């Protein structure tokens, strides 16, 4: 199994936190829409900690970080099922980020280090 994680100061640009503008409910709705589009099922949704567990081609934990009421960052922890994935996990994360940018207004990358 391979493991990938995004965060604010990741050394690889494509694995840095993406920030979006909108309320938490709008962000949640966009994440569910993208998950459905990409073939992931929502296994758990924790509104207290703003975390989502998705199952599909890989196990995916999504953490929504709030910076004010209308600015949210999205981070991923992804575990692929194959031992040698040849960057498949990274491609899944960038695919999710790209699709999410079509559902909610994109603000920038790594805005609050």
**What is the C-alpha separation between 56 and 17, in angstroms, rounded?**
22
Give the pLDDT of the chain (113 residues) as one tens digit per residue.
788 899 999 999 889 999 999 999 999 999 999 999 999 999 999 999 999 999 988 899 999 999 988 999 999 999 888 777 788 888 999 999 999 999 999 999 988 77
Q: At what angle do helices 24-38 and 88-103 cross, to 10 degrees?
A: 130
Say if CB 33 and CB 103 are below 8 A apart: yes
**What is the C-alpha separation between 90 and 1, in angstroms, rounded?**
13
pTM of the model: 0.90
| Closest CA relative to residue 22, chosen from 111, 109, 101 | 101
Q: How many alpha carbons fall within 13 Å on the CB side of residue 45? A: 11
């Amino acid at each position: 199994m391979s493991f990938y994680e995004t965060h604010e100061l990741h050394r690889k640009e494509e694995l840095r936190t993406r920030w979006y503008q909108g309320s938490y409910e709008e962000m949640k709705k966009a994440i569910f829409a993208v998950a459905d589009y990409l073939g992931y099922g929502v296994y758990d949704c924790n509104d207290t900690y703003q975390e989502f567990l998705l199952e599909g081609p890989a196990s995916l934990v999504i953490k929504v970080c709030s910076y004010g009421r209308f600015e949210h960052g999205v981070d991923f922890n992804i575990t692929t099922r194959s031992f040698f994935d040849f960057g498949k996990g990274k491609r899944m994360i960038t695919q999710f980020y790209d699709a999410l940018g079509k559902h909610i207004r994109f603000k920038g990358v790594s805005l609050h280090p």
